[in-house]
Structure 1
Amino acid sequence: MGLFDKFKRGLAKSRDALFGRLTGLFHGRKLDEALYEELEEVLLAADVGFETAMWLVERVRRLAREQKATDGSELPGLLQQAMEEALEDNDPSMKVAETGPSLYLFVGVNGVGKTTSIGKLAHHFKAEGKKVLVAAGDTFRAAAIEQLMEWGNRSGVDVIRHTQGADPAAVIYDAIAAARARSADVILCDTAGRLHNKANLMAELAKIHKVVERELPGAPHEVLLVVDGTTGQNALLQAKSFLEVANVTGMIVTKLDGTAKGGVLLPIVREFHIPVKWVGLGEQMDDLEPFSPKAFAEAICQAPESAS
């Protein structure tokens, strides 16, 4: 299955919700101010957010003027162009170490799919021929260690772990030592998902950063914030909270196949200026994909097959 087909399948609920509302707007209508106001309401209902919805409507207006578009049937194509423009600066590439292993740190609250994303990325990198190690740095929650062990077994990668309650920085220190000894290419490090006590989390992350920077200069090469796409605007609130305590360099948006709120990706990129690196488009091992703005915009704005 090609990348566009994966996005089309994974974003089916978001596309059906958005296009179903758009159909009522452009059918037999002219592009006028009344239609643009209704488009804004549709975008807000799709969890695009107020600021980004206003921005998109203004871009659609501009594109319509430039292309001399007057018919409502041209609206989906114009909206697709505007979405691609909104996401054009998004760079999904992952920073790689010049020498030695690349270390990626994962942050995010419990239940967003952080452990699952680590497991899927381990599978992805292994399929590329890389040797991967996983560090079970969320020692606060015993279930997190068990879940990573299960994903390690499924992916065929080693998991470095300590007992529940151990020092997370010590786990990651051991993972770096193991990576050197085993000539690993990638280290994927889980961290605790609690956010109710920001001071503790900040102290924990600061200690992890100190150990990582000392043992592996230039690391962490990415700090990836994982958010749950099904929560819509709540994903934005989570992102704001973690941006206050972690040096986030990229985001992973999970569970997009299970929601009609895929529009939340747009304000995540536009308002936080942090790239979405990966998106979860299904439950299979290979359903975590590098984010493609073009595939996303096309999959969201294309008519469902039943409507074509």
Structure 2
Amino acid sequence: MAPIIHCVRHAQGFHNLNTANHVLPDPLLTELGEEQCRKLRDTFPYHDRIELVTASPLRRTIYTALLSFEPVFNKHKETGGDGFKLIAIPEAQETSDVPCDTGSEPAALRKELVEEKGLPVDLGLVGEGWNSKTGKWAPTSEAIKNRAREARRWLKARPEKEIVLVSHGGFLHYFTEDWEDSSVYQGTGWTNTEFRTYEFTDSHDTEDLEGYPLDGDNASLVETLESRRRRGKEGPAPSREQQKVFYKLGLQGWDDQGLQLSVAEREAAKVPQGKEVGGARI
């Protein structure tokens, strides 16, 4: 049986404070961000059921995962699971190529997280070039859709029954293919440390939301009723056909907000300075 995925947006990072901070490379969490992690740690109801914690390899997502799901790591340590580690998934990195959304070199991450701090982080999947923002990692919708699907397929094949994925406000729309309300904030419908719960569907979808054929199962997800109720939504999640419409509206909404995925596009569009809304990046 495919696992349940609890998707989480990272806590507030220094890049969330203002648009000028978007030039900060791979920024850390703010004090408020760390407090948001503690609040999620104390209110998340499923710590005892989580068998795997994963995260984008950016520092803000890794630290959000380690702080927010501390009880999960402690539980496994107490039961003799010293080898229990957060697995960093490069496919789950953020969408754009601005400095704040570009990750650190693998060696730098390994030195900070493992060698200096001794944190339980597995960087085995984080290879050279993962932060190049070219090719597979390019800031284009096609590339992002492909790596989101790769991440879904990887997680669907895992043996664990309940998994946490800590990622980013923009990427989570691609990963979940849930585009409802995707422009509530600037570039996302997710607030900092918000979590939503998804299940893999029984359907074997062979086309993406734009109707393009796929090289196998799409590994489609759907938000659970309990998760939707938790955030004030009535009824079941939108159908895949409805999500196709929301996808187009979402991308148009981001464009209307002056959001482009690449630095070159942003500069060409001469995007004006925006306003921080609810901790969402611009």
TM > 0.5: no
Aligning the two structures, in what range does the TM-score lie when normalised by the shorter sequence?
A: 0.3 to 0.5
Q: What is the TM-score of this pair, normalised by structure 1?
A: 0.30
Q: What is the TM-score of this pair, normalised by structure 2?
A: 0.32
**Who wins on radius of gyration, i.e. which is larger?**
1
